[in-house]
Structure 1
Amino acid sequence: MEIEKALSNIRSEHFGLDVWNEFVVPLNIQMSDFHNLLPTKLEGSRGSGKTMILRYLSHNSQFSLNRKDVPLSALDNIGIYFKADTQFFRMFQKRGIDELEWINVFNHYINLVILNEIAAALSNIVKSNIDNVIKEKIKKLEISCLQIYQHELTGSISQISNALKIQKKICEKSVINPKFLNDLVALPNASVIDFISEINELLDINSHFHFYLDEYENLLDYQQKVINSRMKHSEPPICYNIAIKVNGAQIIDVDGSQEKIDLQHDFTTINLDKEMLKNFDIFATELLISRVSKAYKELNFVFNNVDLHSESEINSRKDEAYANQILEIGRSILPNSSHDDLANEIFDIPLYRNRLHREVEKALTHHNTKLTADNFIDENYKKHSIVCSSLLYRRISPTAIYEQLQASKQELPNDFDGSKEWLKNNFIGSYLKLAKIHKHKSTFYSGLDSFTKIANGNIRYFLELCRSTFANASYHLNTDQKFISIDKNIQHNAAIETSELFFKELSSIKPDGSFFKNLCTRFGELFSLFHDRQSQSEPEITHFNISDPINIDEELKKHLDDAVKWGVLYQTKSTKEKSNGNFSSNDDYVLSPIFAPHFFISYRKIRKVSLTTNQVQRLLTGTKEDFDAFLDEFKIRFTSENKNNLIQEELFK
């Protein structure tokens, strides 16, 4: 199906270097910030959009043939995108060659990359829709400044480009076959400055080039130090920038000195995971509609007066009327299930309804009461009935719950709707406990709002949720119809399918995939255990904090940082702390919501559990037997809790 195809490209590599037609400018990231003289460290998890942003900033996109009108101001800042090739750069070491020599070769190679890209940028400018005067000037350029380094590096841009390509291939051959390294004539960093300066002078412009190195964390330690040095000493006409995974930059040393790279003075940091969360629902919906409209022309009108590819349009896109229209269309394509809809499911699906009845009956058997399940299950008060299936396991008498239920029916003050907010606080937890008996019949994960929360600011996750949805709906969807709306159960199961896909993908992380998959499994099982709690006294637990952070050692910190780096957890500042006289962590660690459907748990960040460093260590690195014993401790606690709750209630009768 065409829509599925339009949504299937979830990685920037699928589009090539020119992403102008595909890139949607994020609403809360100032693209002009990447043109500052101070270097930028762009950090974010896999799928956060780092590569797409850097490719958009590069000359391949800024001077794209798809860009109808390229202003002369585009010459002020010219981007160079380069992705660190892990396999190739790991060859720049050992094999009988001293590290100092490898540093020299690495510097030479980076200079060749930049020089090649400068020449390529000029070629792209000539092909672009920019003013013809500048294009004619570039065609007539004769470069001489590089001749002092290599006599072949002289002439027109085309001649320079061909010579540089040859030099780059020679360098690559020599790295693979170190016996040829002695024949290399290394280009100094000054060659880059000389090249840019001569171009600026001959064209009478003041271009500032920005080198964007993607996947910095894949470089060897000494290579990171080389790049750090270039960042620290960046100055016009070239600035060095990096993109990394969260917690990916461990090296702060600068090559050849005792200096360190300093956050405040040497670079600025943009964290995509945090920035993309702001207005992510609008941005993600724009992305969805723009992709769908490629195959479903009826949606083309949405962006008639808005250019998603230009930063100048951001204020228009933040207009309330526009945002509301976008979200309304998105929610019509991906309708969600309200609490009333979910309550209807419990009553309409026999498996769920029977489970509800059994839960209420089971709770009542522990009480000395004449009340029956029929007193708590009411077709006209479905949400109340579902919440009762949990309340009856708490330290509250059935009579008291029944009285509150009757008060609610009579619209009198009550605990369901009043200050205790039983419905608001307990409905989803109670629903999940009941629906888990057959998760594929549910619609809990359906809806645009659910998808954006499950994706949690991650573009790749959101697009895959949408792609899977349209793929599963292909037999039911007619693109000739006036409106597209996907069945909620199809969406829900697509979310489960997508969650399982990314869960399995954890195994591919090298070299520790099995560790991260095991880690995700353990967190999922722990939170599932809390979700299965009969009383739901603390529903929707999906994250934890460390109650004794003073005891966190380097090993534990590294494990947690790595879990965040690879997207198993995300880290956020704590918003609520229970005062228990102990130290409490300022950070919460949340299981990434993309894994919630796999474990059939809530994707919302509602409640947390406090764990000790010892418990977290057992969770992360303990044996299977140790982890099973860890879970058993909670199971015993929950069993005791239920027993004590019921006994305590009897004592006060």
Structure 2
Amino acid sequence: MQKAVSEISQVKHSLTKNRSEHLGKDVWSDFVIPRFFNRVDLISTMPTRLEGGRGSGKTMLLRYLSYHSQFSRNRISIPDNALERIGLYWKADTQFLRLMQKRGIDDEAWLPVFDHYLNLKLSLEVLSSVVSIMESNHAGISQNDIDEVVFDGAKDFGFENESFTLVMREINSRIRQTEVIIQNVHGLEGLKKLPVSFLQYIVQTTITLFPALKNTMFSVYVDEYENLLGYQQRVINTRIKHSEPPIIFNIAIKLNGMSETLTLSDEKLENRADYSIVNLDSEIEKSGFDSFVAEIFLKKLTEASPTISKDINIDLSICSNPEKLDDRHQKEYEERCKTIISNIFPGRSHQDLADEIFETPRYYNKLIYEIESALKQRDSDLSVEDFLSPQFRKAMIVCTSLLYRKSLAVPHIHDQLKKLEIGAENKFTNKTAWEHNNFIGCYLRIIRANKASSTFYSGFDVYSALSGGNVRHFLELCKTAFSLIDDNSLSENFTVDRKLQHLAARSTSEELIKEINRFTPLGTQLSNFVKAIGKVFQLCQDKETQSETEVTHFGIKEDDTPLTEEDDRFFKEAEKWGVLKAIESTKNKSTASAATFDYVLNPIYSPFFLISYRKGRKIEIEASALRMMYQNGETAVSAELRKQLRLSHVNDAINQPKQASLL
């Protein structure tokens, strides 16, 4: 496959655009329709609460559903039924909206100001959607239609003019005036506030005066709802509660992001009665995360590189066509996509990783040293040579931990190794599965001192697992991997070297660890906790016996100081920001909500700590210790905690391996 340096640069540039904010509101040409799209009703008359973690694609999906994309100038053919539902996208400007609090004014006085501002912004969106339809390839509305429209009742709301264009211009002017007053507070009392009936009037008049819109329903999509202040959420909740055609209110929200369920009356929002919930994380997982991110990456790649597009011989245009969803679920198509991307990001089998240990002098020295140390500690008469088994490298690597276990006699381990070598029934490969259960933990313990030489975090399947269902994290990994490549050194078939993939994963993980501090309002505590729990998992992994292999999640053990409301809030925030994933516990029946779950550390943080990204074993940690972790960080991993977790003999500092005596 021939390539030009300019194409490589274009590929790198395309991968930097991995957030919807980088693409603008019109995402028609960039959007890969979720594979669950036809299975979930996103355009019903029932309001929808679209929830999902960061990077789950909430914003991208809402912008796709909005008029900016549905009536994009890039959309060549627009069906007549596109006018039946017009999406209005509104993203809360957190910095500006937070000005509408305090400053000598209580929430009750700020509430009608926010309501007025919301009515203006959404009214402008309604009229802007009409202009977009006129400018699109849909023939339903012409410039002449717009010129003839007169809003007869506009003057009742204090407007000076009634024509479509002048009403739209005055709405824009009022928005600017309102923003200036809010910024400076002065003049707030004299602000002429528009009621919600103004928005209803604009909507009703628009669908009445434009014949093409007579059957239209407007869907408002409020993005980042969780960033609204409490009273602002109550305003939106009221709109949801009383949604009915021709205008329906929907919200996009992070998990655990709805802190307020009250409306402006005594009523509360009630799930099922007032709105349906669509969990994006769950839907993406059920419909095939691997296939979805493969399509997204390959679409970016082929659009940036004509050479790649020609050579891979796969039609990715179907990714943007909702009528082709069934074709994307065909096994042949899915396997073709995964094969292509796996060739770009080749991985390693367990046997490959075992070979890496034997073929890297520093790793091999460490392997021999651990076997020798274990035999000395056990006062065994057997020597290192008795466990040298170059033909069965995985088994030999696993011996570096098995030999430390006092529950296993050294001669017994030796006997099982010899049985493996002659093809007899043995515990390395039979149902006891010593190899399968312990290999990764032993491998990671050996490479820790020289982690940069490893290729552990390489391969499409590994990148997918590290992403933890987060599309943005997957694209970050790919972007970083390509950024490390010299434009002139990328192989002819766009294959990314395994070692570079590993380094990219570690670099991405480090950057995302730094990002945690910005997760308001508990960023510092979340950062403290991740570094502390990562340290605990690291110590578990560095334990000589590997008795708890690949520890990546924990359960909460309530002690003399059970979980508090503050603790519950912390764990909900950790789940909201995707730092932890909650899994319902089958054992803990605590009354504290957080204690009824086990928690998995987001796998994207694994490379930072050089721990497994797989969901391995669980450890139980007392509530008081977890509290200390988010309050104090790594210093909370005290000698007492290590003793409780049976980690008191694990060293923090990993020294360079000593030279083995039998080399």
Which TM-score applies when normalising by structure 1? 0.92
Deviates more, 1:102-111 or 1:45-54: 45-54
Please tell me the residue identity of whatever aligns with 1:130.
Answer: H
Name the counterpart of 1:210.
219
The corresponding residue for 2:304 is 295
Provide the residue aligned with 1:186 in structure 2.
193
CA distance in 2 between partners of 1:624 and 1:340 (Å) = 35
The answer to whether residue 632 in structure 2 is matched with residue 632 in structure 1 is no
Identity of aligned residues (%): 37
1:229 aligns with 2:241: no
* Matched position secondary structure for 2:187: helix
Contact in 2 for aligned 1:577/1:584 (Cα 8 Å): no
Q: Which moved more, 1:485-494 or 1:187-196?
A: 187-196
Contact 1:145 1:195 in 2 (8 A): no
Counterpart secondary structure, 1:160: helix
Matched, 1:462 2:469: no
Residue 258 of structure 1 aligns with an amino acid whose one-letter code is D
Contact 2:378 2:404 in 1 (8 A): no
Q: Of 533, 546, 560, which aligns to 1:536?
A: 546
* Structure 2 equivalent of residue 651 of structure 1: none
| Conserved 8 A contact 2:532-2:633 | no
Give the Å deviation of 1:334: 0.3
Q: 1:207 to 1:355 in 2, by over 3 A?
A: same
Is contact 1:125-1:135 (8 Å) kept? no
Residue aligning to 1:649: none
Aligned to 1:270, the other structure's residue is in SS state: strand
Matches of 1:32 and 1:147, distance apart in 2: 42
Q: How does 1:68-87 map to 2 (within 5 A)?
A: 68-87=76-95
Structure 1 position 272, deviation (Å): 2.3
User: Which shows bigger deviation, 68-77 or 187-196?
Assistant: 187-196
1:489 maps to which residue? 499
Residue 601 of structure 1 is matched in structure 2 by 611
1:325-404 residue pairs with structure 2 within 5 A? 325-394=336-405, 395-404=407-416
For residue 132 of structure 2, what is the aligned residue in structure 1?
A: 124
Partner SS, residue 34 of structure 1: coil
Contact 1:289-1:299 within 8 A present in 2 as well: no
8 Å Cα contact 2:218/2:248 also seen in 1: yes
- Contact 2:528 2:634 (8 Å CA) reproduced: no
Query: Counterpart in 2 of 1:165?
Result: 172
Q: 1:636 to 1:184 in 2, by over 3 A?
A: closer
Q: Which residue of 2 aligns with 1:646?
A: none
Q: Secondary structure at the match of 2:582?
A: strand
CA distance in 2, matches of 1:343, 1:413: 22
AA aligned opposite 2:498: K
For residue 434 of structure 1, the aligned residue among 440, 443, 446 is 446
Q: Structure 1 residue 624: deviation in Å?
A: 6.0
Deviation at 1:546, TM superposition (A): 1.7
Aligned to 1:111: 119
**After alignment, is 244-253 or 597-606 more displaced?**
244-253
Alpha-carbon separation, structure 2, partners of 1:578 and 1:120 = 53
> What CA distance in whole angstroms lies between the structure 2 residues aligned with 1:441 and 1:578?
42
| 2:262 equivalent to 1:250 | no
Check the 8 A contact 1:477/1:484 in 2, yes or no: no
- The aligned amino acid for 2:605 is F
1:264 corresponds, among 264, 268, 272, to: 272
Partner of 2:6: none
- Kindly state the Cα deviation for residue 637 of structure 1 after the two structures are TM-superposed: 5.0
Q: Any conservation in 1 of the 2:37–2:322 contact (CA below 8 Å)?
A: no
What is the CA-CA distance between 1:30 and the residue it aligns to? Answer: 4.4
1:219 counterpart residue number: 228
Q: 1:53 to 1:6 in 2, by over 3 A?
A: same
Cα distance in 2 between the residues matched to 1:396 and 1:97: 71
Cα pair distance change 1:504/1:166, threshold 3 Å: same
Range with bigger deviation, 284-293 or 300-309 = 300-309
Task: Name the counterpart of 1:648.
Answer: none
- Please name the residue that 2:204 is paired with: 197
For residues 506 and 94 of structure 1, what CA distance do their matches in structure 2 show? 28
Q: Shift in Å at residue 622 of structure 1?
A: 4.8
The residue that corresponds to 2:658 in the other structure is none
Alignment-derived partner of residue 661 in structure 2:
none
- Indicate the residue corresponding to 1:14 in structure 2: 22
Q: CA deviation at 1:134?
A: 6.4
Answer with 544-553 or 422-431: which moved more: 544-553
The Cα of 1:153 is off from its aligned counterpart by: 4.9
* Alignment gaps of 5+ in structure 1: 641-653
| Aligned counterparts of 2:292 and 2:486: Cα–Cα separation in 1 | 25
Contact 1:134 1:203 in 2 (8 A): no
Q: Distance in 1 between matches of 2:432 and 2:425?
A: 11
Residues in 1 aligned to 2:494 and 2:620: alpha-carbon distance in whole angstroms: 44
1:411 is matched with which residue: 423, 428, 431? 423
Distance 2:124 2:30 in 1: 25
Q: Does the CA contact (< 8 Å) of 1:153 and 1:164 recur in 2?
A: no
- Letter of the 1:611 counterpart: I
- 1:420 corresponds to 2:426: no
SS of the aligned residue for 1:264 comes to coil
The one-letter code matched in structure 2 to 1:366 is Q
> Comparing 241-250 with 119-128, which one deviates more in the overlay?
241-250
Equivalent of residue 597 in structure 2, options 573, 576, 587: 587
Match of 1:357, as an amino acid? I
How many Å separate the matches in 2 of 1:31 and 1:636?
A: 48
Unmatched 5+ residue regions in structure 2?
A: 1-8, 651-663
Q: Distance in 2 between matches of 1:584 and 1:132?
A: 53
Alignment-derived partner of residue 322 in structure 1: 333
- Aligned partners of 1:385, 1:624: CA distance in 2, in Å? 34
Distance change (3 Å), C-alpha of 1:534 and 1:29: farther
C-alpha change, 1:617 and 1:151, in structure 2 (3 Å) is: closer
Q: Which residue is equivalent to 1:514?
A: 524
User: Residue type matched to 1:426 in 2?
Assistant: N
Q: How many residues align?
A: 632
From 236, 249, 254, the equivalent of 1:240 is 249
Give the distance between the partners of 1:94 and 1:169, measured in 2 at CA.
21
- 2:485 aligned to 470, 473, 486, which one? 473
> Any idea what the Cα deviations from partners look like across 1:289-343, whole Å, max 9, x if unmatched?
1111122223325553642123222211111110000000010000011111100
TM superposition shift of 1:270 = 2.0
Task: Call closer, same or farther: CA 1:587–1:193 in 2, change over 3 Å.
Answer: same
- Write out per-residue CA displacement over residues 170-191 of structure 1, whole angstroms, 9 at most, x where no aligned residue: 2212212333233332222122
C-alpha deviations, 1:353-385, integer Å up to 9, x for none? 000001111111123433211222321111111
Query: Which residue identity is paired with 1:274?
Result: S
